[in-house]
């Protein structure tokens, strides 16, 4: 079996998983309106990390090199460091694999006026290499960049390496910082909401973007790492319906296939909740409702975390898995903030209040550009000695 042994979230809501989880449980959002920023003419709603706060936290870490790190790299390193602090793992060990999830990396460095960093820093492999080297690890890190499903895809890839016996531990980190390129790109799609997003709501008008770094550490079966808060990675799948470069399949074909492959052989009644992608764009939310219904999961509570953090792109699949894992351990189902009146294509049980649940699994869904879809299931560890 593969176990989740530690995690961390760096976001506008806090610099630890527990801080972020408590904020979400209390219904707090990190999103706010920015009348200007990144040299853009239009206002936008987003969650942006306080760079001064991030720098202060980063420079409290052991400074092992004289390399000048970007904001994204600092956040990723800080997140890994905080996750490792709860373990006895030697981060430089050959049995440790680093997996880096991002969609854009340091894309802002393509600006012709930016001369502060080496040219190679625009490449995802270079950032991943520098992050791993900070911890003294010389293994080649694995980079996963697969649109919005990157964070879940990265977890699936990491688990496969562990199951193959290639490594003992996998440190899976997702990080994303916003830039003029990213925000203007979504504005050109007319995909951004000018208010805090409303996933699955009848009057949803689009998504918000967010900055974050998040880390999950997975380990192969080891009795000394198992404790009452340990979760088990049960299964996962990635499917692509190749429907359109940006538009999701109206029948939810790819997501339906990912769900059915992931939950095959499981008792659906054991699933406490579904943490959906839930971007609050008209077509994504409709597609998810159809796929969930086709999988006969329409009566299972569903939530989205996008109205708390925004869409954190390459970090989203990891961040949202961590928050969902905290909720599972806390025996609650979190509120899907922003859904006042359901308005999707198929019947869906959107959770509109924090509710109790003692079931032992959750299903995490992600979908993205190019027809990409992914799903994973994590469950509570139940001691065989009980």
Could you read off the pLDDT of 48-86 as tens digits, one per residue?
999 999 999 999 999 888 899 999 999 999 999 999 999
Better pLDDT: 334 or 242: 334
Asked if residue 344 and residue 273 are part of one domain, the reply reads: yes
Average pLDDT (289-298) is 98
pLDDT beyond 60 at 224: no
Tell me what pLDDT residue 225 has: 60
Q: Are residues 218 and 237 in the same domain?
A: no
Q: Which has more confidence, 189 or 47? A: 47
Q: Do residues 116 and 211 both lie within one domain?
A: yes
The answer to the question of residue 385 being in a domain is: no
State which of 225, 248, 283 marks the end of a domain.
225
Q: Which residue range is the domain that position 284 belongs to?
A: 233-380
315 and 359 co-located in one domain: yes
Q: Which is more confidently placed, 245 or 345?
A: 345
Task: Give the residue from 288, 293, 273 showing the smallest Cα distance to 368.
Answer: 288
Q: What are phi and psi of 99, to 5 degrees?
A: -120, 125
Give the separation between CA 354 and CA 301, rounded to whole angstroms: 11
Same domain, 170 and 200: yes
Quick one: 191 and 265 in the same domain?
Answer: no
122, with CB counted inside 10 A (0-12, 13-18, 19+), is: middle
- Residue 321 reports pLDDT greater than 50: yes
Q: How many residues does the chain have?
A: 386
Residue 386 included in any domain: no
Nearest 5°: the CA angle 42, 48, 54 is 145
Average pLDDT of the chain, as a whole number: 95
Q: Are 211 and 309 part of one and the same domain?
A: no
CATH assignment at residue 187: 3.40.47.10
pLDDT (tens digit, 9 = 90+) per residue, 106-160? 999 998 777 789 999 999 999 999 999 999 999 999 999 999 999 999 999 999 9
143, 146, 346: which is closest to 239 by C-alpha? 146
Asked if pLDDT for residue 280 goes beyond 90, the answer is: yes
Mean pLDDT of 6-23: 98
Q: Which pLDDT value is given to residue 227? A: 61
Q: How confident is the model at residue 331 (pLDDT cuts 50, 70, 90)?
A: very high
Looking at the predicted structure, is the pLDDT value of residue 385 above 80?
Answer: no
Phi, psi of 165, rounded to the nearest 5 degrees:
80, 15
Residues 6+ apart with CB under 8 A from 197: 31, 45, 204, 205, 206, 207, 208, 279, 280, 306, 307, 310, 338
Residue 200, Ramachandran bin (φ over 0: left; ψ between -120 and 50: alpha; else beta):
left
Q: What pLDDT score was predicted for residue 13?
A: 98
Q: Does the pTM of the predicted model rise above 0.75?
A: yes
Instruction: Taking the CA atoms of 386, 231, 167 and 159 in sequence, report the sign of the dihedral they define.
Output: positive
How far CA 113 is from CA of 110, 116, 117, 118, in Å, comes to 8, 9, 11, 13
When pLDDT is averaged across residues 87-95 and rounded to a whole number, the result is 96
Whether 61 is covered by a domain: the verdict is yes
Q: Is there a single domain that holds both residue 179 and residue 262?
A: no
Q: What is the pLDDT of residue 106?
A: 97
Number of domains in the chain: 2
pLDDT digits (tens, 9 = 90+) for 108-119: 999 877 778 999
């Amino acid at each position: 079996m593969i176990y989740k042994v530690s995690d961390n979230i760096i976001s506008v809501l806090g610099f630890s998983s527990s801080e972020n989880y408590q904020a979400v449980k209390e219904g707090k959002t990190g999103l706010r309106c920015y009348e200007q920023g990144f040299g853009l003419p239009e206002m936008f709603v987003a969650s942006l990390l306080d760079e001064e706060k991030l720098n202060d936290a980063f420079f409290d870490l052991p400074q092992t090199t004289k390399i000048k790190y970007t904001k994204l790299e600092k956040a990723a390193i800080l997140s890994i460091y905080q996750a490792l602090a709860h373990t006895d793992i030697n981060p430089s060990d050959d049995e440790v694999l680093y997996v880096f999830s991002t969609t854009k990396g340091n894309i802002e460095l393509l600006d012709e006026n930016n001369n502060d960093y080496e040219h190679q820093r625009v490449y995802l492999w270079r950032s991943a290499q520098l992050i791993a080297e900070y911890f003294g690890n010389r293994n080649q890190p694995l980079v996963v960049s697969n649109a919005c499903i990157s964070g879940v895809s990265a977890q699936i890839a990491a688990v496969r390496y562990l199951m193959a016996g290639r490594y003992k531990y996998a440190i899976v980190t997702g990080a994303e910082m916003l830039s003029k390129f990213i925000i203007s790109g979504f504005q050109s799609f007319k995909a951004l909401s000018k208010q805090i997003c409303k996933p699955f709501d009848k009057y949803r008008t689009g998504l918000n973007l967010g900055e974050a770094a998040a880390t999950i550490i997975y380990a192969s079966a080891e009795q000394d790492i198992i404790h009452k808060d340990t979760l088990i990675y049960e299964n996962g799948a990635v499917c692509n319906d190749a429907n359109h470069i940006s538009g999701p399949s109206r029948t939810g074909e790819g997501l339906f296939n990912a769900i059915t492959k992931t939950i095959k052989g499981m008792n659906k009644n054991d699933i406490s909740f579904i943490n959906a992608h839930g971007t609050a764009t008209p077509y994504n939310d409709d597609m998810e409702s159809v796929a969930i219904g086709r999988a006969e999961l329409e009566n299972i509570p569903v939530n989205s975390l996008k109205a708390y953090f925004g869409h954190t792109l390459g970090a989203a699949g990891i961040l949202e898995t961590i928050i969902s894992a905290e909720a599972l351990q806390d025996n609650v189902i979190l509120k899907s903030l922003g859904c006042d009146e359901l308005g999707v294509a198929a019947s869906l049980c959107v959770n509109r209040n924090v509710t109790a649940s003692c079931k032992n699994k959750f299903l995490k869904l992600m979908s993205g550009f190019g027809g990409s879809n992914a799903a994973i299931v994590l469950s509570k560890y139940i001691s065989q000695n009980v």
